[in-house]
Amino acid sequence: MKLSIITVNLNNKDGLQKTIDSVISQTYKDFEWIIIDGGSTDGSKELIEKYSNHISYWVSEPDKGIYNAMNKGIKQAHGEYLQFLNSGDIYFEDNTLKQVVKFLINEDIVYGYAVIKNNNTNKRVNIRHEIISCYDLTRNTINHQCAFIKKKLFDIFGLYDENYKIVSDWKFFFDVIAIQKCSTKHINLDIIIYDTTGISQTNSIEMENERREILRLYLPEYAIDDYISRFQINEILRHKSTRFLLAALYRLTIKMEEWNFLH
């Protein structure tokens, strides 16, 4: 089997319904679908039972967090490639998987774009390089929902590190791509519409702390200091008032230079 889709869910019945509708609407059908529910009490379990004829394996029981749930799914998967489609995320269109599977041939990780819908506009997010550098991964990561990962990578390099709550998928990509030099392929396809209510979207400070801790496992201290400095600068520039002030200072500097030149 070429593909296993793994969906994790906890008390997100409405989001899970959207994901279910999207998965069962795919024109490509040759995949197994695994749902790992964390013992939801909002009716998610009953929803999974309703659609159980579309699901290869499911379980509803308490877990130790999102990466523990994802690891449960990996252990049950039989596909050559794995995709993690969280509850609430949906495929960009009904023939998305049909377009993707033709690229699932040799590369260890194949990935396209995640799309964030904002009013009537679509914003693509993801690293866009064919060859991903260590530097790229210190600044960004591959969105795991739109990545198709060879299962053998988890067999060889281990499952997601459950010591981290938010960025264990980033740690996995950093390890297998930057350190282990596994192959990647970027495809110019919109894969999923991204649910922006996930944990990594609401805990940016904790996420950054976890990233720094992980980088200390791989990089020398001077590189960590440089990374932290860049992060602090970016945090400052996020504020509109700061950007306005810097722009005003820049314009003032230009005017002063013009005045000095003329006088």
CA distance 20 to 143: 20
Which residues, in sequence order, are CB contacts of 234 under 8 Å at separation 6+?
Answer: none
Which residues, in sequence order, are CB contacts of 27 under 8 Å at separation 6+?
Answer: 94, 95, 97, 98
CA distance 181 to 178: 6
pLDDT tier at 253 (50, 70, 90 boundaries)? low
> For 53-99, how does the pLDDT look when each residue is reduced to its tens digit (9 = 90+)?
999 999 999 999 999 999 999 999 999 999 999 999 999 999 999 99
49 has a pLDDT exceeding 60 = yes
> For 157-204, how does the pLDDT look when each residue is reduced to its tens digit (9 = 90+)?
999 999 999 999 999 999 999 889 999 999 999 999 976 665 444 467
User: Taking Cα atoms as reference points, which of 186, 196, 3, 176 lies closest to residue 84?
Assistant: 3
The pTM score is 0.81
